[in-house]
């Protein structure tokens, strides 16, 4: 039997049970961390450019990191929520191929896990505002990371285990192509991992094709077929996702961040950043810094 190593770990930001109202209406939210909701009363909606999902009692909802979404409550919504960063040595997200809103019917085990997570991590609510532009701040990320460092080994391990169990509920068919077809070929999977691990290097489509012994045109068609993106577009998205994380969680300058994620000059980085996110790096940083 082959051995599998679990590469992923998670840094808890927030967990709480809140009652929301019409003020919970925010558009174009894109965060460098995961959001997981369990609804026990009321209703609301989450939406992205391709889907609109009703938030209703008895269901779990997952918004992977860097997934653009809108949040809305018409009247009243009672919500357990968990927010957490994902960390992996190769930078390859569990949901690298499924940046979309997801819904699952909650089981008794799911509900117990969320309540237990809240019990062992008290006082981890936002306690400021439910507006992402207010609480998505570098200083606040650092504050909650320090709280994680104070967790006992027992609480840390249990927290990791609960987050893994909750995420596992959404992991079906993660290695299928976007249209639900056949499993992604190993050479495309290997390329995806390689890109994530070498973002700062001067990658080209020709090089990526040659390292897996494919003709460049054939490689590009295969990559598009099984990921939904052309190789260059995929590289840009992954580089900008990493840049968003660095902008949100560090004080590094834009030139330094651009170099860290593989851009050889700031104008090119800024142009691609704006194309992918719809805003400039400076505007994104302003939304993630204290006023």
Average pLDDT estimate for 250-268: 92
CATH-assigned architecture of domain 9-168:
Sandwich (2.60)
3-class SS of residue 177: coil
Q: How far apart are CA 56 and CA 50, in angstroms?
A: 19
Q: What is the pLDDT of residue 289?
A: 58
* Beta strands at 59-63 and 9-20: parallel, antiparallel or unpaired: unpaired
* Beta strands at 44-48 and 69-72: parallel, antiparallel or unpaired: antiparallel
Least confident piece of the model among 18-27, 91-100, 225-234, 252-261: 91-100
Q: Are 201 and 50 in contact (CB under 8 A)?
A: no
Calculate the dihedral angle through the C-alpha atoms of 134, 140, 145, 148, rounding to the nearest 10 degrees: -80
pLDDT, tens only, 102-138:
999 999 999 999 999 999 999 998 866 666 655 555 5
CATH-assigned architecture of domain 186-287:
Orthogonal Bundle (1.10)
Whether 285 shows a pLDDT value over 60: the answer reads yes
Domain residues of the chain, as ranges? 9-168, 186-287
């Amino acid at each position: 039997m082959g051995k599998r190593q679990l590469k992923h770990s998670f840094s808890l930001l927030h967990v709480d049970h809140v009652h929301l109202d019409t003020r919970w209406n925010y558009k174009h939210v894109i965060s460098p961390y995961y959001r997981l909701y369990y609804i026990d009363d009321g209703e609301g909606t989450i939406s992205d450019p391709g889907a609109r999902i009703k938030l209703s009692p008895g269901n779990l909802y997952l918004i992977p990191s860097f997934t653009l979404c809108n949040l809305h409550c018409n009247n009243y919504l009672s919500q357990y929520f968990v927010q957490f960063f994902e960390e992996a040595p190769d930078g390859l997200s569990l949901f690298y191929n499924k940046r979309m809103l997801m819904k699952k019917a909650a089981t008794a085990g799911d509900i117990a896990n969320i309540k237990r997570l809240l019990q062992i991590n008290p006082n981890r609510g936002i306690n400021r505002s439910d507006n992402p532009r207010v609480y998505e701040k570098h200083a606040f990320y650092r504050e909650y990371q320090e709280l994680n460092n104070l967790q006992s080994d027992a609480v840390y391990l249990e927290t990791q285990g609960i987050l893994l169990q909750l995420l596992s509920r959404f992991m079906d068919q993660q290695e299928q192509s976007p249209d639900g077809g056949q499993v992604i070929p190993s050479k495309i999977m290997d390329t995806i991992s390689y890109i994530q691990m070498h973002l700062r290097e001067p990658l080209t489509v020709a090089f990526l094709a040659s390292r897996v012994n494919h003709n460049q045109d054939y490689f590009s068609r295969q990559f598009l077929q099984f990921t939904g993106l052309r190789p260059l577009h995929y590289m840009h998205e992954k580089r900008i996702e990493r840049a968003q994380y660095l902008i949100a969680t560090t004080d590094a300058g834009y030139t330094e961040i651009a170099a860290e994620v593989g851009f050889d000059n700031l104008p090119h980085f800024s142009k691609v950043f704006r194309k992918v996110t719809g805003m400039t790096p400076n505007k994104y940083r302003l939304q993630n810094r204290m006023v």
